[in-house]
Structure 1
Amino acid sequence: MAPDETVLVREVMSTPLETIPATESVQTAAERMRDHDISGLFVPGPDAGIVTTTDIVDVVAAGDDPAKVTVGDVMTAPVERVTTEVELNEAAEMMTTYGIKHLPVVDNQSDYVGMVSSTDTTSEFE
């Protein structure tokens, strides 16, 4: 990528947005992440959130049963988000500022349409 070229979130975000209900088990979340080769799932609803591989590792490390712990028990909510038209470098700065690795992406109607991760931001600039 040329140094003066602007890259927008919509150009690198993962779509479709992979989701999981808050009532599902952490084990189910882990299986879905493995099957889709992703590191985070969006949790829709009034208290929208995100569950990541780090959340799953924390459950296992604590000795809890991933089949009995729900996504809602471990997800991060509320979540920061970006629009499809945000520049990728701005999304990367947000991740650094908030200490996060995933940002759900919304369209102009505020509908969740994708996810951008720190991997997307670093690989685009290599």
Structure 2
Amino acid sequence: MNRDKRTRVEEVMSTPLETISASASVVEAAQVMRDGGISALVVRSSAPGIVTSTDVLHVVADGRDPAATTVEDVMTAGVESVPPDLLIEEVAAMMTSLGIKHLPVVDGDDYVGMVSSTDVTAELA
């Protein structure tokens, strides 16, 4: 990390933000994640949420049919988000205290990216 300049979320977040519909199947979510080389998607719905690769794994491990299970069935609703100008150390503390690995980045009313624990770890290492 450059000690002369404190890193902000916008410098390490993944863009463009990948999203998926709440009515999409878990298979579709897995395909979008695989194709994008990512492990979380923001879910477009009246109450935005997030679906992660861990959610997909739980569907499979529980013996549920991922083609018949919707993203809405497994997503986390009411997710926390962060602004693009937040310091990366603050994001690390937030992830640790909440026990989460992904945070959507929101600028005003717009979702603009995703910051992951991998992004944070790489920057702080």
The DSSP-based 3-state class of the residue aligned with 2:21 is coil
Matched, 1:74 2:74: yes
- Structure 1, unaligned runs of 5 or more: none
The CA distance in 2 between the partners of 1:2 and 1:87, in whole Å, is 13
Shift of 1:85: 0.6
TM (normalized to structure 2)?
0.96
TM-score, normalised to structure 1's length? 0.96
Q: More strand by proportion, 1 or 2? A: 2
Tell me the distance in 1 between the aligned counterparts of 2:100 and 2:124: 18
Q: Which amino acid aligns with 2:25?
A: S
Instruction: Deviation per CA, 1:24-57: give whole Å up to 9, x if none.
Output: 0000000110000000000022210000000000
Show the counterpart of 1:114. 113
Task: Show structure 1 runs of 4+ deviating over 3 A.
Answer: none
Structure 2: unaligned runs, 5 residues or longer = none
Q: Give RMSD over aligned pairs.
A: 0.9
Percent identity of the aligned residues?
A: 59
d(CA) in 1 for partners of 2:46 and 2:97? 25
C-alpha separation between the residues in 1 aligned to 2:21 and 2:74? Answer: 12
Question: SS at the partner of 1:82?
Answer: coil
